[in-house]
């Protein structure tokens, strides 16, 4: 079966202002709206479009996280995913461990393509897709702004510092999505009701035999410094004088 595996991470909603706990041990999540990582929603939308174009038979949404991540997977099912898998972990795990988990699921599901968001908006690591490709020993195409399946290969236009480049990778492969790839569809109420009947399997992290121990130690979280108020200047001469005073000119 031509299957596409899509990663979906539960994060603080991008419209919510993130607050650091007073003791600096993390960010406040109690009572905070959570949603799917926006880049992952783009990845899911692209997988659904590939299926609609006849390039895939099944789209499977996968998440690694707490039991509450079922809500984001139900949303993915409502968008159009055929089924979902939650690898349940009550503690946050690092990108390398997530890549190892995804590798175990890849071995079970044998997907033709794995599509992930290029990064998550909570940690901005931008690592999981690349690590999965290395562990899987398969090609990768990161920062995709266009994906076309051509037989047993994928033609991917990707965003780089100098502009755009187009590469071709053999399938199966890993793709990570950029913002300009597409605009995710809205979820309709009838689709939410249908999603309740779609299969959502829960797998305990320990059952996969993956070493999820942390190799990094976070010492402290702190908010960014507050920006100073702007200053209105009369003319260019006053601007130059202000810059010189700050040692910037």
Q: What is the pLDDT of residue 249?
A: 65
**Range with the poorest average pLDDT among 133-142, 164-173, 227-236:** 227-236
Q: What is the CATH classification number for the domain harbouring 125?
A: 3.40.50.620
Using pLDDT thresholds of 50, 70 and 90, give the confidence band for residue 31: confident
Length of the chain counted residue by residue: 249
Using pLDDT thresholds of 50, 70 and 90, give the confidence band for residue 217: confident
Q: How many domains does the chain have?
A: 1
Neighbours of 209 (CB within 10 A): 8
Using pLDDT thresholds of 50, 70 and 90, give the confidence band for residue 47: very high
Task: Give the domain extent around 51.
Answer: 3-245
Task: Calculate the average pLDDT of the chain.
Answer: 92
Q: What is the pLDDT of residue 49?
A: 97
Using pLDDT thresholds of 50, 70 and 90, give the confidence band for residue 145: very high
Distances (CA, A) of 170 to 44, 100, 112, 151, 233: 21, 21, 10, 9, 58
For the record, the structure tokens of 99 come out as 């890549």
């Amino acid at each position: 079966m031509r299957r596409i595996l899509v990663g979906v991470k539960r994060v603080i909603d991008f419209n919510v202002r993130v607050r650091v706990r007073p003791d600096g041990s993390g960010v406040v999540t109690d009572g905070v709206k959570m949603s799917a990582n926006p880049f992952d929603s783009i990845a899911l939308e692209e997988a659904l479009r590939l299926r609609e174009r006849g390039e895939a038979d099944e789209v499977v949404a996968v998440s690694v996280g707490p039991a509450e991540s079922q809500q984001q997977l139900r949303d993915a099912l409502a968008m159009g995913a055929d089924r979902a898998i939650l690898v349940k972990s009550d503690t946050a795990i690092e990108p390398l461990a997530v890549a190892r988990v995804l590798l175990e699921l890849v071995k079970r599901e044998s997907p033709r393509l794995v599509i992930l968001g290029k990064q998550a908006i909570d940690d901005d690591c931008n690592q999981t897709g690349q690590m999965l490709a290395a562990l899987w020993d398969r090609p990768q195409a990161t920062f995709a702004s266009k994906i076309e399946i051509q037989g047993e290969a994928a033609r991917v236009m990707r965003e780089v510092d100098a502009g755009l480049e187009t590469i071709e990778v053999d399938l199966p492969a890993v793709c990570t999505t950029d913002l300009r790839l597409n605009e995710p569809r809205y979820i309709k109420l009838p689709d939410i009701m249908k999603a309740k009947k779609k299969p959502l399997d829960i797998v305990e992290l320990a059952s996969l035999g993956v070493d999820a121990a942390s190799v990094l130690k976070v010492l402290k979280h702190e908010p960014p410094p507050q920006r100073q108020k702007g200053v209105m200047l009369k003319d260019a001469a006053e601007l130059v004088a202000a810059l010189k005073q700050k040692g910037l000119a």
